[in-house]
Homo-oligomer: A and B are copies of this chain.
Amino acid sequence: MKESLHGVVAAQLRQRIRSGSLKVGELLPSEAELCEEFAASRTPVRQALATLREEGLISGGQGRRSVVLDAVPSQPFESLLSFTTRARLTGHSPGQRLQEIALRRPQAAVAAALEVDAEALVVQLLRLRLLDGRPAMLERMTYTEAVGRPLLGADLDAGSIYALLTENGVELAAARHTFDAVSADEVDAQLLDVEVGAPLLRERRLTRDAQGVPVEWSEDRYRPDVANVTVTNTRSVRSAQL
């Protein structure tokens, strides 16, 4: 896969920021200087800067040189989807234990969210996520039948669902996450090893493919002392990481 020029510039700058060669608070080279350095026109240079801005790494503003805001990029898309990626980025070792996988008819609310008929079949998973061996999060995921079928035969304790879906031609493109807090019920308490009634961070997520068709609905519950969710937004965009 040939890398685009703006991709190369972005990667280079990211690397300089991560390595400390460009420190937080420091001014970036001007666009003109970057053009010369990479023998590029302003177009790819500006594209690269826009990318870093989206990642929350640098600031911007008319007439003002950009400033390094942060050293760690908040990975864009996957990071809010893949628990595994998030964990690795923060230096923890992720684990998982599938509790249940089923093909069944969904509750009304879930069917509505996925925009399928209440009579349609869906694939539902209940999975416990671990961080450094300790229970961290409980996932209740629902997939439309066509999307979820390949999951039924797979070894879900081994690979990532995200990767599995991609292999099967499902292209996750956009997700909407809603956060609130709930009390642990008995199932939560037992699996997450907390008291009944303990506060848990709840994330409800609807993921769509590139055509805008809903493919995944998930309700996740986090132990707040073990895992939390971080979102960064810049003036223009938002992205996220754990």
Contact = CB atoms under 8 A, between A and B. Distances in A.
Contact of A51 (B47, B211, B238): B238
Contact of A231 (B67, B197, B231): B231
Contacts of A20: none
Copies of this subunit: 2
A190 B88 CA distance: 40
A156 interface: no
A76 B239 contact: no
B201 A50 contact: no
B183 A199 contact: yes
A92 to B, nearest CB: 16
Contacts of A231: 80, 176-179, 231, 238, 240
Interface in A183-242: 183, 197-202, 208, 210-213, 222, 224, 228-242
Interface stretch (A93-101, A126-134, A138-146, A167-175): A167-175
A242 B46 contact: yes
B240 A233 contact: yes
22 contacts: A6-B238, A7-B238, A24-B212, A43-B242, A47-B238, A47-B240, A54-B54, A54-B239, A56-B174, A67-B210, A67-B211, A76-B236, A77-B234, A80-B233, A172-B235, A177-B231, A177-B232, A179-B201, A180-B201, A198-B199, A231-B238, A233-B239
